[in-house]
Amino acid sequence: MRRLLKRDRRLIEKIGRYYLAYKGNVRLESLLAKDLEIVEVDKVTRYFVLATMTLSVIKEALDYFRQARRTRLTYREFTVEYDSEPLGVVDVPRTLGVMSRRVYAYYTYIKGYDAPEYAIMNYLLRRIYAIASRYFEMVKDVPEEVKYFSVKEKLEQKLQELKGVLNYFRGEYFRPLTDYDPSWLKGTYNLYVTLSELEGLSFGIKSKDWKTNEVSRKMIKLILWRLYEIYIFFLVVKYLEGEGFTIEERGNVYVARKGEKEFQLVLNSDLDVSQLEAVDKLDEIKSFRGRPDLSLVAKKSVLIECKYSSSISYLTASRFKIMAYAYEYDPLTVILTYPGLDAQRLTAGSSSSTLDVEEKATYMMDERAKREGFIDISFRNSKKLYIVVLDPSDDDDENVAKIARIFTSNDYLKNLL
């Protein structure tokens, strides 16, 4: 069992329940992996992560239902019919006059309303609903402290939507699926299997130092740097609310509003204000844009890059990355947040003499940022960048105060507020 750092443990405690809630859709296959190092999470975190994954399962199941319904209305299957007069489209070479009263046996096709695939679909949808309802019961009475990433309300709505389609297909039936079954049926079956397994899975993280001595098994992958991004979002929102802004979800973005002032908070996305014009003769220019972790988008933007790392080489690269963002997007400023370098890890097995010039500069910046809360980097074109230590193990109000100092010390940022 992994012994988490204090900041890792506090990060999971503070933000774990919202691990996936900010994403519109979750790719379930990307969250289930083997050969992970097991970590313990509290029951509330476990239940909310399961509820969020369940929400994605229901969304996919409803998509498959719509595919099945469309197929049911258009699909035709051949069959032999007996009648005194052939009806519908007839395959003439395989139509015969039989019996003495001019009854025809003719080969035609009819709507496949009662094909067994639809009864199997109904069986799977009902069982997905039963499991999802049980997962919802786990969280329905647990208060959600953060309204922006509401899980319970969305899950309840999708459960009602799923419940409304359970009587669309006739009967319930199950048999092992085959390679010849339609993709919507195989997809629904895979969702049912995944949902059935979730409750019994452990949580784990990738660790380059981890060597397992036990049988490898599937786990729910917990990504700490993703949690850190959410944590920084919460700190920024808490600061903005303290300044009188209201925050509301609007589609795929969050909108901050105070009087006539309004701007968007955009998570993990490129921005249309990118100055990138061309990459050689390639067509997909958008894929080459930078994707800041958090952007405050108004006439001018504030970009925030979050790095949950104690690697001095990685943080050195990150401080140059924010300079690239400052060039590409021409924001008011770019802020690099990280939890602080771990001095013991940094010096273990090495000395400062092994660091190159750029890494030594990063080390110096880290020491000053820890003393002062943050450092600012000024350019001759009046651009300012900030590097700030925001450690999840510290008090949230202390971290919010650091963000406040950055905004109030910069005239450009003051105008945003």
Residue-wise pLDDT for 125-151, tens only, equals 999 999 999 999 988 887 766 666 778
Helix, coil or strand: residue 294: strand
Please determine, for residue 269, whether its predicted confidence score (pLDDT) is greater than 90. no
Average pLDDT over residues 1-5: 59
pLDDT digits (tens, 9 = 90+) for 4-36: 678 888 898 888 888 877 665 677 777 888 888
pLDDT of residue 16: 84
3-state helix, strand, coil in the chain (%, to 5): 45, 20, 35
Distance in angstroms (rounded) separating the CA atoms of residues 189 and 200: 18
Contact 167, 68 (CB under 8 A): no
Percent of the chain whose pLDDT exceeds 90? 29
Q: Which range is least confidently modeled, 15-29, 243-257, 355-369?
A: 15-29
| pLDDT, position 40 | 86
Q: Residues with Cβ < 8 Å from 210, sequence gap 6 or more?
A: 2, 35, 36, 37
Least confident of 72-81, 92-101, 120-129, 264-273: 92-101
Report the pLDDT value the prediction gives residue 343, as an integer from 0 to 100: 62
Which of 50-54, 79-83, 164-168 shows the lowest mean pLDDT across its residues?
79-83
63 SS3 class:
helix
**Contact yes or no for 16/9 (Cβ under 8 A):** no
What pTM, to 2 d.p., does this model score?
0.80
- Burial (CB count within 10 angstroms: exposed 0-12, middle 13-18, buried 19+), residue 319: buried
Q: Which residues lie below 8 Å from residue 93, measured CB to CB, with a gap of 6+?
A: none
**Could you identify the residue written with the tokens 């015969």?**
96
The tokens for 301 are 């933007």
Which DSSP symbol is given to 222? P
Residue 356 scores a pLDDT above 70? yes
Please report the pLDDT score of residue 358 as a whole number.
85
Q: Please state the rounded mean pLDDT for residues 239-249.
A: 91
pLDDT at 82 over 60: yes
pLDDT at 1 (0 to 100): 47
Which residues, 6 or more positions from 265, have their beta carbon under 8 angstroms from its beta carbon?
Answer: 233, 236, 237, 247, 253, 254, 255, 256, 294, 295, 296, 297
102-111, 127-136, 360-369: which is most confident: 127-136
- Alpha carbon distance 121, 73 (integer Å): 15
By mean pLDDT, which of 163-167, 237-241, 267-271, 387-391 is the weakest? 267-271
pLDDT tens, position by position, 194-232:
999 988 888 888 776 655 555 567 888 888 899 999 999
Q: Is the pLDDT of residue 416 over 60?
A: yes
Query: How far from 253 is each of 49, 219, 256, 296, CA to CA, in Å?
Result: 21, 30, 10, 10
